[in-house]
């Protein structure tokens, strides 16, 4: 093979597996999706990952011989050094799935394995919002809160593959909300789309006056996917919705500040569905960060939205494959 190196990145999600060929500069040449169909079992899941690799190459009109390495990102729980998914809540009934060894055996290419949130952070660092910075922390805001941390080009994986589980740091002790993980007072229990819907439901159940009452009465309760309705109502001047959005910005600022006082990165990046709320929401987060952080990081840390959308995961996974090749490891 001649010319610059190419990589395939794969991002395994609960519903679909995204993949693409990515250049040595982090540009995707293809972007494909195949269904995960986790319920069909992990052997089928591994086949679907292999299919995603093949589809990614085909969509870029490339042969697999043109690919230098493969990177796979998956949700947890996992053992990153061993390339294993252990007991993933979003991929039932999988258990102890040797993802890296399977893909390596199948394609005979250097194969990297990474947590999906970590891969997304690496993607934004390499080819997205963080191009040119030394370090960043990414929060991906969805039904949960994913997080990835990159310092000097290295992902903070942790010694037990639990690095950057920042959705599950404790930010409230005296009246702690219950988190989806079963813990209490976690950031995710305050600032995820699920938490926003939950806080809305509590207020609407109390009978607070709001344009959201119609939706609430119709559906019985708001769900995480209704977060957009809350932001829309806020933009239309609904005062309950505005309060809920403002609280969400505050909670996210608490998460950002806790990372600024721990990692002190160049940049805090917010990605995921909630960022569709647009620049005014980002500005509210920034304002709270300025109030809460020490003066130097408050003035100097960039607080921005992600740029790669839902391609961040496979681009970052490809970036992990590239790191592997550059380091000369398997």
**Residue numbers of the site for a second copy (CB under 8 A)?**
77, 134-135, 149, 151-152, 154, 156-166, 168-175, 181, 183, 251, 254, 257-266, 292, 294, 296-297, 300-301
Which is closer to a second copy, CB of 34 or CB of 257? 257
Q: What number of CA atoms fall less than 13 Å from residue 3's CA on the CB side?
A: 9
Compute, in degrees rounded to 10, the torsion defined by CA atoms 220, 223, 228, 232.
20
Which is closer to a second copy, CB of 149 or CB of 274? 149
CA-to-CA distance for 265 and 312, rounded, in angstroms?
19
Which is closer to a second copy, CB of 1 or CB of 296? 296
Which is closer to a second copy, CB of 39 or CB of 294? 294
CB of 80 to a second copy, least distance (A): 10
Which is closer to a second copy, CB of 103 or CB of 195? 195
- Nearest Cα residue to 81 out of 7, 155, 166: 155
Residue the block writes with tokens 């813990």: 183
CB of 192 to a second copy, least distance (A): 15
CA-to-CA distance for 49 and 318, rounded, in angstroms?
14
Paired residues of 141 in beta bridges:
145
CB of 165 to a second copy, least distance (A): 4
CB of 74 to a second copy, least distance (A): 16
CB of 298 to a second copy, least distance (A): 10
Q: Would you say 21 and 62 are in contact if contact means Cβ atoms under 8 Å apart?
A: yes
CB of 184 to a second copy, least distance (A): 9
Burial of 162 from C-beta contacts in 10 A (0-12 / 13-18 / 19+):
middle
CA-to-CA distance for 309 and 325, rounded, in angstroms?
26
Which is closer to a second copy, CB of 248 or CB of 310? 248
Helix/strand/coil for 214: helix
- Coarse DSSP helix, strand, coil percentages of the chain, rounded to the nearest 5 percent: 45, 20, 35
CA angle 132, 136, 140 (to 5 degrees): 120
CA-to-CA distance for 168 and 120, rounded, in angstroms?
18
Paired residues of 34 in beta bridges:
17
Which is closer to a second copy, CB of 50 or CB of 257? 257
Residue the block writes with tokens 């380091």: 327
Helix/strand/coil for 17: strand
CB of 263 to a second copy, least distance (A): 6
Which is closer to a second copy, CB of 23 or CB of 77? 77
CB of 326 to a second copy, least distance (A): 17
């Amino acid at each position: 093979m001649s010319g610059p190196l190419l990589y395939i990145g794969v991002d395994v999600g609960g519903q679909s597996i995204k993949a693409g060929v990515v250049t040595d500069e982090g540009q995707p040449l293809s972007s494909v999706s195949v269904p995960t169909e986790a319920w069909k079992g992990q052997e089928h899941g591994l086949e679907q990952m292999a299919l995603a690799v093949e589809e990614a190459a085909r969509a870029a009109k490339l042969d697999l011989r043109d690919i230098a390495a493969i990177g796979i990102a998956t949700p947890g729980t996992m053992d990153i050094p061993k390339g294993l998914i252990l007991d993933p809540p979003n991929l039932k009934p999988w258990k102890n799935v040797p993802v890296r060894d399977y893909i390596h055996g199948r394609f005979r290419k250097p194969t990297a394995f990474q947590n999906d949130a970590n891969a997304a952070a690496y993607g934004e660092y390499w080819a997205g919002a963080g191009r040119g910075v030394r370090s960043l922390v990414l929060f991906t805001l969805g039904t949960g809160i994913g997080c990835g941390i990159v310092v000097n080009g290295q992902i903070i994986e942790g010694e037990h593959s639990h690095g950057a589980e920042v959705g599950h740091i404790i930010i409230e002790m005296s009246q702690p909300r219950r988190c989806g993980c079963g813990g209490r007072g976690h950031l995710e229990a305050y600032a995820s789309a699920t938490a926003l819907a939950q806080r809305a439901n509590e207020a609407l159940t109390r009978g607070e006056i709001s344009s959201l009452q119609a939706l609430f009465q119709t559906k019985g309760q708001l769900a995480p996917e209704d977060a957009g309705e809350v932001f829309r109502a806020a933009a239309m001047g609904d005062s309950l919705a505005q309060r809920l959005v403002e609280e969400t910005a505050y909670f996210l600022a608490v998460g950002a500040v806790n990372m600024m006082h721990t990692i002190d990165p160049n940049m805090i990046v917010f990605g995921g569905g909630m960022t569709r709320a647009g620049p005014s929401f980002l500005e509210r987060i920034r304002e709270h960060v300025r109030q809460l952080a020490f003066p130097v990081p408050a003035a100097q840390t960039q607080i921005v939205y992600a740029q790669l959308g839902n391609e961040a995961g496979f681009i970052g996974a490809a970036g992990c494959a590239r790191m592997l090749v550059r380091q000369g490891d398997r």
